[in-house]
């Protein structure tokens, strides 16, 4: 059985990382136009670094929860038949043991030089006057995908969706495209579709099945069911 799993901020909520759109979420505390666009970075790189430095610090202190661990278990059983795509910029899937994770919105642990394209491991704190270790330009940025930029791996994901038997979406509000459209793509290609979320997402109607609850409780049960078949 070929499975594509998409995860969002909800899977890391019980690890202590705030989601974006729940009450008191990150986008209630910050205007995304001020911290998560290329224009914001051009205008005020110090503010954007401050936002991502705080998130990198929080992520460094977080531990994976039972939902991340269950998906690592699924990978051990299914190998290449599982594609795990995450919108999350934390590394909790990897910390739980997943080895093959497609971070379509990039990673907090990465730094990118927008002058030469070089990538390296981000220090805990990035600053506007940091220089690229390859070309020495002060053009370094977090290796995350901002609004208005192109997510990673879309062709690869489309290909996986086209041959998937099952598409599962976990802990995402379904408000940000193209990820929110994966359920429609998978459905058109004939895959069964299930969402596991605290509450119905914006794309609930597109799923064959909805399971509501905390990720740490419902994801391990769902993985157990898959592995029994």
Establish if 87 lies at the interface with ligand OAD (CB under 6 A).
Answer: yes
For residue 55, give both structure tokens: 């998130």
- Token duo for residue 229: 């078949």
As a whole number of angstroms, the distance between CA 152 and CA 131 comes to: 24
- Residue in this structure with the two tokens 């290909």, named with its chain if needed: 159
Alpha helices in 79-152 (DSSP H): 92-96
- Give the separation between CA 190 and CA 143, rounded to whole angstroms: 34
Of the candidates 6, 13, 92, 186, which one interacts with ligand OAD according to CB under 6 A?
13
**Closest distance of CB 115 from ligand OAD, Å:** 22
Of the pair 173, 193, the CB lying nearest ligand OAD is at 173
Report the site for ligand OAD in 20-49 (rule: CB under 6 A). 20-22, 25, 36
Cis? peptide before 178, omega within 30° of 0: yes
The number of beta carbons lying within 10 Å of the beta carbon of residue 139 is: 17
Q: Within positions 47 to 76, which residues make up the interface with ligand OAD, using CB under 6 A? A: none
Query: Which parts of 88-117 interact with ligand OAD (CB under 6 A)?
Result: 105
- Which span sits near ligand OAD by CB under 6 A: 5-13, 45-53, 94-102, 121-129? 5-13
For residue 30, the tally of other CB atoms under 10 A from its CB is 16
Number of residues this chain uses to bind ligand OAD (CB under 6 A): 26
Nearer Cβ to ligand OAD (116/221): 221
Please choose, from the candidates 145, 58, 134, 72, the residue with its C-alpha nearest in 3D space to the C-alpha of residue 107. Answer: 145
Question: What are the residues facing 85 on neighbouring strands?
Answer: 6, 102
Residue 203 binding ligand OAD, by CB under 6 A: no
Which window, 14-22, 49-57, 125-133, 159-167, contacts ligand OAD (CB under 6 A)? 14-22
- Identify the active-site residue in 30, 93, 105, 118: 105
- For the bound state, the minimum distance from the C-beta of residue 215 to ligand OAD, rounded and expressed in Å, comes to 3
Q: How far apart (Å, rounded) are the C-alpha atoms in residues 160 and 83?
A: 7
* C-alpha pair distances (Å), 176 with each of 8, 67, 115, 209: 10, 22, 28, 20
Q: Catalytic: 93?
A: no
Closer to ligand OAD at the Cβ: 86 or 140? 86
Interacting residue ranges for ligand OAD, rule: CB under 6 A: 8-10, 13-14, 19-22, 25, 36, 87, 105, 145, 147, 171-173, 175-176, 197-199, 201, 214-215
Task: Name the residues annotated as catalytic.
Answer: 105
């Amino acid at each position: 059985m070929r499975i594509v799993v998409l995860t969002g901020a909800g899977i890391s909520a019980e690890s202590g990382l705030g989601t974006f759109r729940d009450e008191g979420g990150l986008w209630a505390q910050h205007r995304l136009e001020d911290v998560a666009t290329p224009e914001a970075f051009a205008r005020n790189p110090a503010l954007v670094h401050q936002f991502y430095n705080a998130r990198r610090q929080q992520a460094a202190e977080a531990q994976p929860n039972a939902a991340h661990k269950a998906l690592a278990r699924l990978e051990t059983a299914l190998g290449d038949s599982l594609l795990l795509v995450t919108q999350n910029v934390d590394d909790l899937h990897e910390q739980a043991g997943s080895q093959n994770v497609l971070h379509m919105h990039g990673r907090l642990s990465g730094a990118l030089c927008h002058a030469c394209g070089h990538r390296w491991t981000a220090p805990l704190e990035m600053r506007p006057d940091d220089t690229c270790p390859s070309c020495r330009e002060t053009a370094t940025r977090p290796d995350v995908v901002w609004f208005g930029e192109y997510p990673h791996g879309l062709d690869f994901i489309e290909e996986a969706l086209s041959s998937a038997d099952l598409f599962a979406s976990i802990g995402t509000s379904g408000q940000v495209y193209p990820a929110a459209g994966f359920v429609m793509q998978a459905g058109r290609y004939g895959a069964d579709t299930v969402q596991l979320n605290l509450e119905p997402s914006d794309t609930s109607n597109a799923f064959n099945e909805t399971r509501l609850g905390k990720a740490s409780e419902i994801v391990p049960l769902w993985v157990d069911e898959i592995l029994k078949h």
